[in-house]
Amino acid sequence: MKTKLDGNTITLFPEGHVDSKNAAEFERDVMEALDAAPDAAVTFDIDKLEYMSSAGLRVLMKVIRRSSKTVKAINVSPDIYEIFDITGFAEMLDAHKR
């Protein structure tokens, strides 16, 4: 997964599907990026993310709990925003639709 550190914000760019098949890898990549910049604000640019299952949402919950700052999700597709809305993540994240 591509990451970008710009000042005090780390942006992560997940792609494709995050589900039970690859959630452990997704979590490892995310946590390694956060460990490299522990005080940075976190933004997920999910423009190229097509699907996120509950396994992926669990990783997002870990990030939200770990971060002392608001976690953002930008470029959220209507389908993924609907998942965020139904599960309550739209209220836990600073989510911005495409």
pLDDT digits (tens, 9 = 90+) for 3-32: 999 989 999 999 999 999 999 999 999 999
Confidence category of residue 78, pLDDT binned at 50, 70, 90: very high
Q: What are phi and psi of 66, to 5 degrees?
A: -80, -35
Confidence category of residue 70, pLDDT binned at 50, 70, 90: confident
Residues 26/56, Cβ–Cβ less than 8 Å: yes
Confidence category of residue 53, pLDDT binned at 50, 70, 90: very high
Assign 18 to helix, strand or coil: strand
Residues 45/72, Cβ–Cβ less than 8 Å: no
Question: What is each CA distance from 81 to 4, 10, 25, 35, in whole angstroms?
Answer: 23, 21, 23, 27
**Considering the entire predicted model, what is its pTM?**
0.92
Confidence category of residue 51, pLDDT binned at 50, 70, 90: very high
User: What is the pLDDT at residue 69?
Assistant: 87
Domains and CATH numbers, the chain: 2-97 (3.30.750.24)
Whether residue 84 is predicted with pLDDT greater than 90 in this model: the reply is: yes
